[in-house]
Structure formats: structure tokens, C-alpha cells
Structure 1
Amino acid sequence: MYKKLIPILAVLLLVSCGQSSGGLPAKTNPKSQTVETHVTENYLAQNGLIADYKNSKEPQYLSESIGLYMNYLVLNHDSETFHTLYKATKEELAFKKNFIKWKWGDKVTTNAFIDDMRLYSALRLASKQFHFPDYDKFASQIASNWKKYGVTDGVPVDFFDFKTKEKAKTLHLSYYNSSAMREIGFSEAAYEPLKKVQATPFFDEIFQDGTYQTTGNEVNMIDQMLIAIEYKRVTHKKEPHFDAFLQGEWAKNNRIYARYNRDTKTATNNVESTAVYALLALYYEETGQKKNYQKAIDKLQMMDTSNALTTHFFDYMHKELVLIKKGS
């Protein structure tokens, strides 16, 4: 009987090793390779990270880009590319006990809450989808570091310095990722700044010492959309003043611009943003506004992101994330 058990135990041991830090996740069949090919040819650097622009003289390799791309790769069922990116992240951006640098560089000693929450979500999803527990272990360490070092009175902050252990005094409300935070187990106090913020019609962007502040007189609509999406997810309602502003802009201009003057409520220039339209689509999906969702999708599909010399990876990947979700 014991002789019969030996081959079975050997197989189980091999399977277990295949899911350890030295193994590889099972290879999957991606839905498409179009995005991966474009990224490899235009944004992928020799260090395995993602550059902000193609052929930039001073490229930045951001953890923000890694998180966005990881989320796309999970949706595209691409375990092989995901694992390659995961290894590069651990080798190039992780510091000691998996503190993640917000950008690549020897002198960088801080992380960013928004970027780490995005990485956490991607790793958790990938662990389940690709049946690779190491991703979950990595995500759990990121979460543990934030709960230990990155909160003040229960409220997360923008960043902390993992060498000095000093932390920011501010929280940008656009940094919220409530779904990741719920999984991690942040207390209810963590969501209070977002629950109580008001828009007139724009949101104040910063919370510090119990009060709200703005980033200035020029409003960045990427930040506003990120806040609006998370406001809806946390409060289960849309902010009426901000939503009315969007409705008015569609009616008057048939578009949403990238930046507005906080006082006059008018666009500071005629620039439109791919990322803004991508986030608008997510916002309208979240708030159940089907007609406006289609408006945002139509505008998004008109935005040309094919030239990596002029298209920031943030814009390119936000568009592709919305489109792959739409096609699912």
C-alpha cells in the first residue's frame, strides 16, 4: 500500500512546487495579443518595467503603470505576461519587505496609496484566476505594510517613507480604492473623508487634519472623476452637483474637457483627455446612466492612442481597460 502512495505523493509535491516562488503559473490563452504587442514594442523597457512614453529622454517607470497593465492582463487571461511583469516589479520596485516604490530609482524611498491599492487588486485577482498563491502572498504583504505604517487615526495617507517610516499628512481623495480597502479590512473611519466631501460642483481634492483643501484654481478632471466614482461606491449615490455639471457640459459642448477653472466652471483650454473619457465611462456604468455611458464610449473610441511618442501610458491603458471590460 505504501509503495502505491509514493508516486501520488511525488505528483502532489511537484504540483506544490509549481505554485511556490520558484515555479510558474499555468500558461493561459489570452483573448488577444494586440495590446501586449503594442506595449512590448513601444513602452516596455529593458528592466522589464513600463515607460511613460516611447523614446522619452528622461523616462519614468511608474508603479501606477504596472498596476494598470496588470489589471488589463488579468482581464485578458494572459498569465505569462503577467508573471513576467510581476517578477520585474519584485526585482526593480520592491524594497525589502515588499514596500513598493512609486517609481523606479535608487533614491526613491516612498510609495503611493493609489498605486499600491491597484497592485493589490491585480495580484489578488491574478492569484485566483491563475491559481498562483505567491501573488496573494505579495498582495498581503503590501496590505500589511499599509495598515501598519500608512494610516493616521484610521484614515490612509498619500504615502509613507519606508526608510524613515515618516508618513504624509495628506490624503488625496482620488487615491481611494474602496473595493481593495474593503478586502484589506480598513476600518470604517477610513471612508469618512470621502463620505462627507461635497462638490460645488467640483470636489475638494485633499483631506488633512480634519479639513478639506483644493489643489488650486485649475481643476483636473481625472482627479474629479476618480473621486466621483469612489464617492458613488462608498455612499451608494452620485454627488448631485457634480453630476449636474457633467450633464450641463454634455448639453452645452457635447464633450467634457480635461481641465476647468474652479470659479468660472469653464474649460481652461480646449484639450480633451483619453483618460477622462475612460473614467467617465466607468462613472456612468457605476451610476447606471446608459445613454451617457455610450456617449463617453463613443468619445473614447475617437481618441487616437496609437502614437506612443505622444500618448502617455496612463491614457493608453485606461482606454484599453474600458474596452476590454466592455467586450467581456
Structure 2
Amino acid sequence: MQSDYLNKKAKLLFAGVSMLAVSGCLYFFMLEKQVPSPTEKFIVEHMTNPNGTLATYLLDAPAETADIVAGREALAESLGLWMQYALARDDQKLFDSSYQVLHRYFLSPQTYLYWKLSADGQSHVTTNAFGDDLRIVDALWQAADKWEKEAYNKTANAVTETLLALSIQNGYLVDFHDFAKKESPHTLSLAYVDMSALKRMADHGMIDADMYNRYRDLMRNMPEDGLFYPKIFHVEKQVYSYDDSINLIDQLIVALHRAEIGERSEALVGFLKKEFAQRKQLPGRYDRLSRTPAVSYESPAVYGLAILLALKQDDPDWARELYERMVKLRSEDARYVGGYVFNDNTHIFDNLFPLLAEEAMRSYLD
């Protein structure tokens, strides 16, 4: 009897150990749910300017032109991603501090959002960026509902009203508006078409059903070349165009926006799975025609976005594989624990997207 009991106990113990070995990464997220990622700590300690804005690069460098971000300059895009992270963590204090940064530095007197700032919080641009605006107003509306703060609603509505008054071309909100020159382009970057934000904009009565459906149809009916999505929609000519060199960050963001309206990106995901299986990594860029890598580097942001897409498509096994590769790219330098630092430098997106992916995995497995 005792022998049978011990044999059964040994079998159960072996089965438990085997299960933990197979799914150890997934159990990590359940066990560590209340512990912030070390990447959050890295961002707070190393990528935050004294005024609270998020630096784009770890190392400072002078800006060569106003159109290109450099050094410790801050982006509205980064702030929007940080606000999304605060929402995911249910961290009202972190969100409110981000809102204060938004109000103090990014919100112009004309109620548009500067797309970038100098490290000291000064703006030397007179343009917004549509995709950044959508991400931020969406976060504000979500936070207003979650924490019942009318100030968030008020700011989101004001920014949206400015967009709708000045940035529409041929029935579409386009990439940006130059508030000094009073002109807008006729291009719409498809990575900017955030369907979740547009749906919330419609729910708040800021746009009508016709405008929302126009964007939905734009994303649902876009062509693809058998694998990759276009980069730009030209609103005047009503045509799409592709880049010759494909940035996987753009592709994955478009795929995530399509997922918001129930569209799956089977061709893109299937290709990336095959590439990852063969190469054990995902290069950051591909040549569109040859379908071969255009660069040798890996981007943590690519892995973060791919994880978000995998979870959106209910594929946690694929997400786990990507996660395991992603965290191997974290710096081993004791100065930068949790950061994705290469040659003593990093881009904020290569830390924010992985951070969002980590939190999404925790939530998915909760």
C-alpha cells in the first residue's frame, strides 16, 4: 500500500514538474502579476527627463532638423504609449502624472498637441501627428470612464474638436496639420488609423457613423501584395502606396488596428512564424519584393507588437515564443537593468512596446 502511494505521488510530482517546465514562462506572469516590469523601472530612471517627459534616446544628441527626432527630445507618441501602460496597470497616479505632462508641455494654446518637444519641454514645431493624437485622446476617454475624472474628457474633446475643424482632407483626418502654414497633406499613414480610438470617438459623438465606417472600410478593404500591407492612403486620388523597404513595426501596427474590427492578418502572421522558426529571430525590415531581410538587426519593439498581435488573435503559444526571444535582448549591463540597450543607447519605443506586451500577457493569463 505504501509503495503504491509513493509511486502515485512520484507520478503526480513528475507530471507537475513537466507542466511547469513546458509552461514556465506563462506561470511567471501569473506569479509576478503585481510586480512591475524592470523595464518600467529602467524607463523611469534612465529615459525620463527632469521635467517628466520621456526621452526618445538614452544618449543626448543635437537635432539636425526639426522633422527628425534626436537625443533627449520627447515625442507625443511616447506619452500616449506611457498612458496606455498606466491604464493597463490600473495605475491612476502614473496616468495623472502623464496627464500633467500633457497639459503643461504638449498641449498648445490652440488645443493641438505638439508632436515633439525639446528635452526642456519647449516646442519648435507647429504640427501635430494624427496617430499620436488618436492614441492620447483614446487613453484620456478610457481614463475618464475608469476614474471618473471630467478633466480627462474635457481635454480629449478639445483636442478632437481642433482636429476635426482643421485636419480633414477629402473626408479624412490626415497625417498632420501645420498650424503656422495652415495647411495639411493629402496623405494618411495606415499605421495612424487607430480603429479603437475612432470607435471611441464615435461613441463620444465627436464623429458620425459615416466617418467611422469610412475608416473601417479603408482598413477592411485595403489591398495587400500577398503578404505586406500598404504604407499610405492618398485621400485625394483614393489610392494606396507601398514602401519598397518594409518596416515590421508599421506592418504590425496596421495588423493590430485591423484586428480591432475583427480582421485577421493570416498571411503576415504565417510569414513571421515561418521566418522566426527558420531564423530564430525577426529582422526589423524586409525587402518587399524579395521577401528577404533588409537589415540584420532585431527590434524589441517588433517583438512587443508581435506579442500584442498574437494575444489579439488568441495565440498565447506564439506570444510565449516571441516573449522568450524578446527578453533575451535586454541589456546585461548592470547600469541598465530591464532596458533594451545596445551600444550604450536605446530608443524609447524599444522599451515601451515590450513593456506593453508584458502587461498584456499578464492580463491575458489572469
TM-score range, shorter chain: 0.7 to 0.9
Q: Distance in 2 between matches of 1:55 and 1:303?
A: 19
Offset, 1:269: 2.3
Flag structure 1 segments of 5+ consecutive residues without an equivalent: 1-29
Letter in 2 for 1:191: R
Instruction: Tell me which residue corresponds to 1:290.
Output: 316
Report if aligned partners of 2:174, 2:186 keep a CA contact under 8 Å in 1. yes
CA–CA separation in structure 2 for the residues paired with 1:246 and 1:225: 10
Distance 1:214 1:164 in 2: 28
Aligned residue in 2 for 1:281 = 307
1:195 alignment partner, one of 193, 201, 220: 220
Partner of 2:79: 66
Contact 2:108–2:114, Cα closer than 8 Å, also in 1? yes
Q: For residue 109 of structure 2, what is the aligned residue in structure 1?
A: 96
| Equivalent residues, number | 297
Look up the SS of the partner of 1:180 in the other structure. Answer: helix
Query: How do 1:225-244 residues align onto structure 2 when only pairs under 5 Å count?
Result: 225-234=252-261, 236-244=262-270
> Which residue is equivalent to 2:359?
324
Tell me, what secondary structure is at the counterpart of 2:157?
Answer: helix
Partner of 2:339: 306
Q: How far apart, in 1, do the equivalents of 2:265 and 2:39 lie? A: 34
CA RMSD of aligned residues (A): 2.1
Matched position secondary structure for 1:282: helix
Does 2:127 align with 1:123? no
Instruction: State the 1:294 CA deviation.
Output: 2.0
Aligned AA for 2:352?
M
Q: Which residue identity does 2:218 align to in structure 1?
A: P
Q: Do structure 1's residue 157 and structure 2's residue 174 form an aligned pair? A: yes
- 1:127 deviates by 1.8
Measured in 1, the distance between the counterparts of 2:130 and 2:200 equals 15
Deviations 1:260-319 (A, max 9, x none): 111110001221111111111111112222332222222222221526542211110111
CA contact (8 A) 2:39 2:351 kept: no
Deviation at 1:322, TM superposition (A): 1.2
Runs of 4+ in structure 1 off by over 3 angstroms are 30-37
1:202 match: secondary structure: coil
Distance 1:313 1:261 in 2: 25
Equivalence for 1:256: 282
Residues 195 and 215 in structure 2, CA contact (< 8 A), matched pair in contact too: no
**Alpha-carbon separation, structure 1, partners of 2:280 and 2:94:** 39
**SS of 2:233's equivalent?**
strand
The within-5 A match list for 1:1-20 is: none
Which gives a bigger RCO, structure 1 or 2 (Cα 8 Å, sep 6+)? 2
The answer to whether the Cα contact below 8 Å between 2:43 and 2:351 also exists between their aligned partners in 1 is no
Q: CA deviation at 1:146?
A: 2.1
Call closer, same or farther: CA 1:133–1:178 in 2, change over 3 Å.
same
1:216-270, Cα deviation, whole Å (9 max, x unpaired)? x211100011111212323x23234323322331332233211111111000122
TM-score, normalisation: structure 1: 0.83
Distance 1:84 1:36 in 2: 15
Superposition deviation, residue 34 in structure 1? 5.1
How many percent identity over aligned positions? 26
Alignment correspondent of 1:25:
none
Contact 1:199 1:242 in 2 (8 A): no
Q: Partner letter of residue 89 of structure 2? A: N
